[in-house]
Amino acid sequence: MLTSTFILEACPLTKSDSQSLDFVINRFFIKLFSTKSTEAVKYCREYFDFSLPTVLWAKHVSKFEVSFERLLSLL
């Protein structure tokens, strides 16, 4: 798991990149459920416990930072 986080840290995403990833997921749900309502898409994502890439990214980065701080405290 740390390897993938290091890769993500080595290639940081710009705000535009992360919004593009979110857009793909939102468009997928729009097509899947044949709706144009962003509220319906948001509800479906929450119902199926499907997080946006930006949310997952933030969780991975914070987890990495905590692990890194623990590692530094051991040194």
Enumerate the domain spans of the chain. Answer: 2-74
Q: Is the pLDDT of residue 2 over 60?
A: no
What's the pTM value of the predicted model, to 2 decimals? 0.68
Q: Using an 8 Å Cβ cutoff, are 45 and 75 in contact?
A: no
Question: How would residue 20 be classed by pLDDT, with cut points 50, 70 and 90?
Answer: very high
Q: What does the pLDDT average to over 40-64?
A: 89
> Which tokens go with 1?
């798991």
Q: Is the pLDDT of residue 28 over 80?
A: yes
Q: What does the pLDDT average to over 21-42?
A: 93
Q: Is the pLDDT of residue 50 over 50?
A: yes
Enumerate residues 6+ apart whose C-beta is below 8 A from 51: 45, 59
